[in-house]
Amino acid sequence: MAAERFLCGLGMRLVARDVRLKAGQVDLLMLDGECLVVVEVKARAGRMFGLPQEGVHWRKLRKLEQLAAMLRQQHPHLGRTERIDVVAVDLDRDGRAVRCDHIPNVTA
């Protein structure tokens, strides 16, 4: 929810939350102008195991690329291009978001 608010604050429009397809699941689907954005939200409490964004490995990215292509095919009217963003969320002990970090276009 914090990530959604954060991105809306950056001027992006929400299309759908938690999109579930046979091939997998997309956390947030947004529009940034004419661009369809597939957003992966990664949250971690504490830095013991590294930054939250370090948990987005190449297999997950491959899956997200596949999902983005499928969504574009199913909904051709949504935007002209697509890209994949990651939002890293730091949580405190009670699970509240402390900080959000937006990394645009991670597969470029």
- Residues lying near another protein in the complex (CB under 8 A) are found at 51, 53-54, 56, 61, 86, 103-106, 108
Q: How far is the CB of 102 from another protein (least distance, A)?
A: 10
Q: How far is the CB of 69 from another protein (least distance, A)?
A: 20
Q: How far is the CB of 107 from another protein (least distance, A)?
A: 9
Measure the CA–CA gap between 55 and 49, rounded to whole angstroms. Answer: 9
User: Interior CA angle at 92 toward 12 and 59, to 5°?
Assistant: 60
